[in-house]
Amino acid sequence: MRYFTIHHDGVTIPVTRSGQGRSLVLCPGLNSTQADLHELAGLLRRDHDVITFDLRGHGLASAADRYSFEAFLSDLAAVLADPERLGLSAAPLLVGYSLGADLAVHYASEHSDVVAGLVLIDGANPVPEPFITKADRPEFRAMWDGLAAQQQARRGTERQVLLTGQEILDVNVEIDAVRSRILDRYRKIDLPISMIMSTSMTGDGGDDRAARFNRNWRAGVERLVREQPRISTTWLDADHRLVFTHAPEIAQIIRSARTAPGTLA
């Protein structure tokens, strides 16, 4: 296991590298850390040289003056900016979870020459409707205020998240805007792309709102695949926590995608 840090834009990004085989960069999402993804990373290390890291304000990364989509994208770009330091002999497979999937698509749309392919886990979805409407914002703000309060117990640990409830809300509203335009990013990518998506993104509570969110989630993927039929999609019977609840299945899907003819191998 190798540990090192990258300094850029006034923040310190911790990077971990371990494993053997083809290089793979695993990008966490909003409110998740590389420590949270330890099970998936460990399974992937059996046949991949896995590089993981924390986004600003997450895990062991330092706090920042700003938290935005572009700022998080700059963290991913900083990790991939020096392939010699990473020890990459070939372009890596880029795997992103949630926000990390969106970051992977945006990065690959501008740097396809340094990426071998994409695996997008429950993110980067061109949903036809935004998830957070103006009417929804007070409820989501209260939910994320509660999450931020719970994070106080994790301060100083590898699982901490330093964002406030308002900052989490602001980033999610921005992600909705980013996803409304993400089809343009997909059109610029000439790489193998695999998606691993949850069937019940917001859970299966049976209420009308959850059902609406889940329909919107599926409709976004169907919209993408109609335009980009080359993208392979696997649905898991799970909610948005699938990287934590279904890590073995996800690792096997990634492994299978790499060995299938004409895909990521």
Q: Quick one: pLDDT at residue 26? A: 98
Mean pLDDT for the stretch of residues 246-251: 98
Q: Quick one: pLDDT at residue 88? A: 85
Is residue 37's pLDDT more than 70? yes
Model pLDDT for residues 178-197, shown as the tens digit of each residue: 999 999 999 999 999 999 99
Q: Quick one: pLDDT at residue 265? A: 42
Among 224, 195, 197, 199, which Cα is nearest to 210's?
Answer: 199
- Following DSSP, what letter does each residue of 134-181 receive, concatenated? TTTHHHHHHHHHHHHHHGGGGTTSTT-B---HHHHHHHHHHHHHHHTT
Model pLDDT for residues 60-101, shown as the tens digit of each residue: 999 999 999 999 999 999 999 988 778 888 999 999 999 999
The pTM score is 0.95
Q: What percent of the chain lies above the pLDDT cut of 90?
A: 88
Q: Which domains does the chain have, with CATH numbers?
A: 2-128+181-259 (3.40.50.1820)
> Under a CB-based contact definition with an 8 Å cutoff, are residues 25 and 90 in contact?
no
In which band, very low, low, confident or very high, does the pLDDT at 259 lie, cut at 50, 70 and 90? very low
Among 191, 145, 174, which Cα is nearest to 69's?
Answer: 174
Q: What percent of the chain lies above the pLDDT cut of 70?
A: 96
